Structure 1
Amino acid sequence: MTEKTINPVLKQVLELGPTLVFFLIYLRIKDDTYLIGGTEYSGFIVATLIFVPILLVAMGILWALTRQLSRMQMFTAFMVIFFGGLTAWFNDERFFKMKTTIVYGTFVVILGIGLLRGQSYLEWVMGEFLPMKSKGWMILTQRITAFFLFMAVLNEIVWRTMSTDAWVKIETFAFPIMLFAFLWGQIVALRRYLISPL
């Protein structure tokens, strides 16, 4: 099945929109408590439960329009559903906060295994989008693995030492900005390895 192209702005809205909606819902209901099935749930947990179907709908629309979802999108969606479910089942917001650590940690393990085998699994995932020499992919994979490890540790520090408010804001804005800035910086730094320079 061939991939269809869509407006890049619409694509960004579908990819980033659910997280922003979660943030706005959380801001609106963070101080409220909800009684569901005889159990009290905080605004954070209710916002998490609302976030899951919003994410799935956005991914469904993206699939319908492009006929493609990246492995990273599918993995992230699985983690959101799994840890969102645990958060609701145990009525414990820590599960959803740990999701970020586990996502980054999983990437560290997967990419690290590839590096130990002398391979860049990152090239396998992103090679068609970013044509680059193998040496460049190995350097980029090493750096991204180290960065993901840093992000996993940072998330643990943030959610364990800061308020839920602070974690939501950092998760929604700071982490994505840090990731974007890091990736852009690496593309610029590794331009000499690009087969078709950007």
Structure 2
Amino acid sequence: MEESVFERDPSDPAHKEVNPLLKLALELGPLMVFFFANARGEWLIERFPVLANIGEPIFIATALFMAATAIALSVSWILIRSLPIMPLISGIVVLVFGALTLWLHNDTFIKMKPTIVNTLFGVILLGGLYFGKSLLGYVFDSAFKLNAEGWRKLTMRWGIFFLFLAVLNEVIWRSFSTDFWVAFKVWGTMPITLLFTFAQMPLVMKYSLEQETPEKAASKDK
């Protein structure tokens, strides 16, 4: 795959690694801002009366979520001169649907953002498999070195998982309160995703090129 500003080859001397804690903060920070602003919206309005012009806590949270997302992407670009493709796509959807939420004063748009993003990722990954491409390998190649079968299976699992998250988001926001939906994004979706990620480690280890020996490769072909 050709190098782009979105994903650079880690072996490139110009490539810069981000501190893991800083990377985690850049990825999860905007979501935590969203959760805090929604939970403490009234408190924020008391201290910053100008926020009352935006509306209810969910709209304040949306505005701050958009700002935090833009800041996180900007910091990532400044530090490593590249933008991870998945956070970039998610950020674009946040800004578009966040703008619609504030403009139309309808929180349905920001609630549908996870549905749109996860469906998009799921369809792209599974669609790539249909055409014989394990696209997840282009995203995680710097983290894992798997053989073709490993990437195919991992891509299939993540594609299905993204679609599961999309359906789950639809069920949650349509069935429960806004506060419950926001809390679930942080304390429900994140743990589920972490558990799923850890559950894939046996597959990653099994098909890792670094661990593979001729005997092991032969046993897989049987």
- Whether the TM-score (by the shorter chain) exceeds 0.5 is yes
Preserved CA contact (<8 Å) 1:108 1:149: yes
* Pairwise CA distance, 1:128: 2.8
Q: State the 1:140 CA deviation.
A: 0.7
Q: Hey, what does 1:23 align to over in structure 2?
A: 35
Q: Alpha-carbon deviation of 1:72? A: 0.5
- 1:69 counterpart SS class: coil
- How far off is 1:122 after superposition? 0.9
Partner SS state of residue 55, structure 2? strand
Per-residue CA deviation, residues 95-125 of structure 1 (Å, 9 max, x unaligned), is 0010000101001211121111122111122
**Unmatched 5+ stretches in structure 1:** none
Q: Secondary structure at the match of 1:73?
A: helix
Partner of 1:107: 121
C-alpha distance 30-149 of structure 1, shift in aligned 2 (>3 A): farther
Q: Which residue of 2 aligns with 1:97?
A: 111
Give TM-score scaled by structure 1 length.
0.90
In the TM superposition, 1:41-56 aligns within 5 A as 41-56=55-70
Of the three residues 171, 177, 182, the one matched with 1:168 is: 182
CA contact (8 A) 2:33 2:61 kept: no
1:73 counterpart = 2:87: yes
Q: Following TM superposition, by how much is the alpha carbon of 1:75 offset from its aligned partner in structure 2, in angstroms?
A: 0.4
TM-score by length of 2: 0.81
Q: Which has the larger radius of gyration?
A: 2
What letter corresponds to residue 81 of structure 1 in structure 2? L
- Residue 52 of structure 1 deviates from its aligned partner by 0.7
- Structure 1 residues 95 and 30: CA distance shift in structure 2, 3 A: farther
Percent sequence identity is 36
Residue type of the partner of 2:120?
A: T
- Paired with 1:28 and 1:195, the residues of 2 have a C-alpha distance of 48
Q: Give the conservation status (yes or no) of the 8 Å contact 1:30–1:44.
A: no
Aligned mates of 2:57, 2:72 — CA distance in 1: 22
**What residue in structure 1 maps to residue 22 of structure 2?**
10
Candidates 150, 169, 183, aligned match of 1:155: 169
What letter is aligned with 2:30? P
> 1:115 & 1:30 partners in 2: Cα distance?
47
Higher mean C-alpha deviation, range 62-71 or range 98-107: 62-71
Mapped partners of 1:100, 1:88: distance in 2 = 17
User: What corresponds to 1:142 in structure 2?
Assistant: 156
How far did residue 179 of structure 1 move? 1.1
Aligned-residue CA RMSD (Å): 2.0
Q: Deviations over 1:2-34 (max 9, x none)?
A: 222232212211221121122111111169796
Give the C-alpha shift of residue 167 in structure 1: 0.4
Runs of 4+ in 1 over 3 A off after TM superposition: 30-35
Shift of 1:152: 0.7
Which residue is equivalent to 1:178? 192
Aligned to 2:74: 60
Tell me by how many angstroms 1:188 deviates: 2.3
Structure 1 SS opposite 2:200:
helix
- Assess, with a 3 A threshold, how the Cα gap between structure 1 residues 179 and 148 changes in structure 2: closer, same or farther: same
Single out whichever of 41-50 and 21-30 deviates more from structure 2. 21-30
User: Which of residues 120, 132, 139 is equivalent to 1:125?
Assistant: 139
Say how many residue pairs are matched.
Answer: 194
Task: Find the aligned partners of 1:30 and 1:159 in 2 and give their Cα distance.
Answer: 22
Unpaired stretches in structure 2, ≥5 consecutive residues: 1-7, 9-13, 212-222
